[in-house]
Structure 1
């Protein structure tokens, strides 16, 4: 991870709030994310994790607060103040989003190669040979045999679909990737393989990642820092090992003790 003391944050979140009718899903959430840093957002179901992720990723309009992202050559810019076209460009170039259900992040009836190459085509690349070469390279990098390049994702296993979704997101070399429970729908052995791949890629590419997970083991393996949420509020934040080994908030203590209980 890049030293945070000498660099400005890549992402700055301040006072994000969101209500659905009379229900407060998110209340004044704030955090910073630095280049190359992995931040885990943890908490039980209904704690506001996914609402926070979607608000930060400009997939949901917050009622209050600001999300500022360090655009290349520009500096920090209000994400929700960008035009819809600017948000779409950001989402398909400098950002990635890995869904819990890979089918939500893939075009299931077109080839694996086309899924990977589509983001490059969105940037204007039309050279078939170069697109196919890039797709083959990324299939290898996510441990999918390039012989499957012309097969549709609907013919893939769950783990292969998730790895293909990762390749689709990383082919444009984004600086920031959002991940929403990327391993929770997979069998334990498949989860372990995917987590090893994610850890290797985030380190190699120096990706900044915001990952939502209910699994504290996933947070410990992948994240430098973590945010603990309860009832729409951030109740504790800190270095992952410090939070898990010496939790300060009663809710965090409960989460950790529930995992450690036999």
Structure 2
């Protein structure tokens, strides 16, 4: 890790009329660090993720990102074009439903190759070779490169979405319930893959999950949300092994029974 945070959230709040999406959330994310945001449905974790990733405009607050030139930029003061470029290059976003993050009517290779073209690669041979390499890295047979994602299983679609996001060498990846809806055996394989890639590539990641076992396996730090507020925040093992807040204690006792 470097001596400067990659991302700084400052008092981020999002209101839907009188309803709180999230309120006064502040944290720093460091290069190579994985932060899990956990809580039950309706806790505000996905709203917060969407605000941090600029998919939603917060009601108040700011998020600063450490650009490759060393300067911090307020994400909400950037132009729409600048934010789109950041999403295509420095960031990735892995959706719970892979169909939301893939183009289902084009080939697996084209899904990966589109990200490369977005950063200026125009050499067909290089693009296809890189796509083959990434399919293999996410445990998809290279012979499926010309198949469309609609012919893939749910687990394969999620692995393809991960390849599409990581092929450009992003520094930060957002993941929204990346194992949601998958069979337990498929989840375990996917989690092992994600953990290996995050470690190998030195990625920073913000992962939203309701599954504390996922948070324990993947994250360095954890934020527990309830009713739009962060009620506990700390090193993952500390929070899960010695939860201080009654709500966190309830989550741990109800979810981590193995």
Q: Determine whether 1:123 maps to 2:119.
A: yes
Cα displacement (A) at 1:152: 0.2
Q: Determine whether 1:140 maps to 2:136.
A: yes
Q: Deviations over 1:173-224 (max 9, x none)?
A: 0000000000011000000000000000000000000000000000000000
Question: Using the alignment, how far apart are the partners of 1:179 and 1:23 within structure 2?
Answer: 24
Corresponding position of 1:187: 183
Question: TM-score of the superposition, structure 1-length normalised?
Answer: 0.97
Q: Deviations over 1:1-30 (max 9, x none)?
A: x2xxx6110010010001111111111111
Q: Deviations over 1:26-65 (max 9, x none)?
A: 1111111000000000000000000000000000000100
Cα displacement (A) at 1:74: 3.6
Question: Using the alignment, how far apart are the partners of 2:70 and 2:214 within structure 1?
Answer: 34
Question: Using the alignment, how far apart are the partners of 2:21 and 2:171 within structure 1?
Answer: 28
Match of 2:208, SS?
A: strand
Cα displacement (A) at 1:259: 2.0
Match of 2:61, SS?
A: strand
2:43 is aligned, of 21, 44, 47, to 47
User: Which runs of 5 or more structure 1 residues have no equivalent in the other structure?
Assistant: none
Corresponding position of 2:255: 259
Question: Using the alignment, how far apart are the partners of 1:26 and 1:225 within structure 2?
Answer: 19
Corresponding position of 1:241: 237
Contact 2:212 2:256 in 1 (8 A): no
Q: How do 1:70-85 residues align onto structure 2 when only pairs under 5 Å count? A: 70-85=66-81
Match of 2:243, SS?
A: coil
Question: Using the alignment, how far apart are the partners of 1:139 and 1:212 within structure 2?
Answer: 25
- The RMSD of aligned alpha carbons is 0.9
User: Which runs of 5 or more structure 2 residues have no equivalent in the other structure?
Assistant: none
Question: TM-score of the superposition, structure 2-length normalised?
Answer: 0.98
* Larger displacement relative to structure 2 (23-32 or 100-109): 23-32
* Larger displacement relative to structure 2 (235-244 or 69-78): 69-78
Question: Using the alignment, how far apart are the partners of 2:103 and 2:152 within structure 1?
Answer: 12
1:216 is aligned, of 209, 212, 216, to 212
Q: Deviations over 1:70-102 (max 9, x none)?
A: 000142110111000000000000000000000
Q: Determine whether 1:28 maps to 2:24.
A: yes
Question: Using the alignment, how far apart are the partners of 1:7 and 1:163 within structure 2?
Answer: 32
Corresponding position of 2:170: 174
Cα displacement (A) at 1:252: 0.7
Match of 1:229, SS?
A: strand
Q: Determine whether 1:94 maps to 2:93.
A: no
Q: Determine whether 1:37 maps to 2:33.
A: yes
Contact 2:213 2:256 in 1 (8 A): no
Cα displacement (A) at 1:254: 1.1
Q: Determine whether 1:158 maps to 2:162.
A: no
Corresponding position of 1:198: 194
Question: Using the alignment, how far apart are the partners of 1:198 and 1:166 within structure 2?
Answer: 8
Cα displacement (A) at 1:260: 4.2
Question: Using the alignment, how far apart are the partners of 2:55 and 2:194 within structure 1?
Answer: 23
